[in-house]
Amino acid sequence: MSIDVGAAVSAAPAVERSKLRAWLVTVMLVFLALVNWADKAVLGLVAVPLMEDLDIGPGQYGMLASSIYFLFSLSAVGAGFLANRRSVKWLLFAMVALWSICQFSIWLAPTFAIILLSRILLGLGEGPSAGLSFHAAGKWFRDHERNVPIALQNVGSFGGIAVAAPALTWVIGRYDWHWAFFAVGVVGLVWMVIWFFVGKDGPYAGGSKASASSGSVFDGAVRVSYRHLLLSRTFIGAACVGLAAYWALAIVSAWLPAYLRNAQGYSAQSASTIVMAVSLTAIFFLLTQALATQAMMKRGVSTRIARGAMASGSVAIAGLFIITSVAMPAGPAQTVVLCLGFGLGLVTFTTSAVLISEFVPVLQRGAVLGIYVATVTLSGVICPSVFGWIVSSVGADAHGYMVAFLVSGALVLAGGIVGLVLVNPPREATRIAGLLEPATP
């Protein structure tokens, strides 16, 4: 049916967008992503001393690494629907408060049971992070402006790993491994204080004149059945690509430091340097991809190519690099291949969030992004445990890690190929636009 967006929002108050506030909020969301991934990465950085002190093996450590994702998907979906009707500012504030409480719990009582429980609750708080952050940024920028702000949030994610690797390695060496959890807890508290004053919901929230003037019918006060959104070929394709990329990311945060030390013979400092290099590689590709996509779109290139094919192809190529890395000896060449394998495909987290926004009404965007995050982070539940099971079953040595890397590379490659076949945002936007209905209060 045809929608008169102007009529739908004619009674809405006019809202002026402050560019300064838009970018201040974006900067805070970047730092939120940094804190988020520092929280996740800390367990991988303390993996070796933690396993020694608690006298646990790869299988039990894999359970600890996976536990953060036990409630991750559930909370991502729940908070996504809540974000459709509640202020994202306060949802993010409460979320970070829970993060810090969980990290302080591990610092105070670093036992297997407390770590397991705290990581489960940490996942409950971190599940909504990406979806809510992307939604918050989307409220401040129009569709054609969203590539760079959302890319910067992902830069924050990998910046968190890049900063956490050397900084927390120093804390672990200078004090003890459980003090690393105290450090990330304090950083979370600092973010909360600043966000209290800086955070604010943007004007492109549906039902305002700013929304109507954004240039997209999907930014107006309209809705469509979730069935049409979630069963679309593009959403399914983006989810498959995201699942594959998140599998690689789960390896970086949970297993890469242990692999470099136990299978490749690197020192703790050298391993943290390589993890930092992987993160910096991801940051480089995130920024390059965002700028390239924006330039391609200005020249009229379809978002099927500029967003969909670029992200899916990057993930497929990353899978090939991961597979290749196992055939190489430890050294600079293998480090480069590892950086490409675990850094290149992560551009999909920026692209998928933006391309989903192309065909999802803003009033439903928080929920759909939450469902997307919940879906792709299922890899976080499965990967660490499966990786640890493979290593333990084949042999907790270089051969066990080699098999786990081969399986992982094949999965990442397959996800990228599925995305190349299914993802087509313009086609989806045209189809969904014909199904839109005015939103009811």
**What pLDDT shows up at residue 219?**
56
- 335-338-341 Cα angle (round to 5): 155
- Residue 7 CA to residue 414 CA, distance in Å, equals 45
Q: At what angle do helices 129-138 and 147-174 cross, to 10 degrees?
A: 140
- Residue 97 CA to residue 176 CA, distance in Å, equals 24
**What pLDDT shows up at residue 233?**
94
**What pLDDT shows up at residue 210?**
45
**What pLDDT shows up at residue 313?**
95
Number of alpha carbons in the 13 Å side-chain half-sphere of residue 256: 30
> What is the sign of the dihedral through the CA atoms of 216, 217, 219 and 225?
negative
- Residue 126 CA to residue 295 CA, distance in Å, equals 33
pTM: 0.74
Indicate the pairing of strand 437-438 with strand 222-223. antiparallel
**What pLDDT shows up at residue 355?**
86
**What pLDDT shows up at residue 10?**
40
Query: In angstroms, what CA-CA distances link 38 with 23, 97, 293?
Result: 22, 15, 28
- Looking at residue 306, what DSSP letter applies? I
- Residue 309 CA to residue 419 CA, distance in Å, equals 8
pLDDT in tens, the chain (441 residues): 444 444 443 444 444 567 888 889 989 998 998 888 788 778 888 888 888 888 888 778 888 887 887 887 788 788 878 877 778 889 999 999 999 999 999 999 888 899 999 999 998 888 888 778 877 887 787 767 777 787 788 777 777 777 777 888 888 888 888 899 999 999 999 999 999 998 888 776 654 444 444 445 555 667 788 899 999 999 999 999 999 999 998 888 778 888 888 888 888 788 888 888 888 898 888 888 888 888 898 898 998 998 899 999 999 999 999 999 988 888 899 999 999 999 898 888 778 878 888 888 877 887 888 888 888 888 887 888 888 888 888 876 778 888 999 999 999 999 999 999 999 999 998 888 887 776 665
Nearest CA to 360 among 201, 224, 209, 203? Answer: 224
What domains sit in the chain, N to C, each tagged with a CATH number? 19-438 (1.20.1250.20)
Count, residues in the chain: 441
Cβ partners under 8 Å of residue 78, min gap 6: 128, 370
**What pLDDT shows up at residue 221?**
67
**What pLDDT shows up at residue 197?**
92
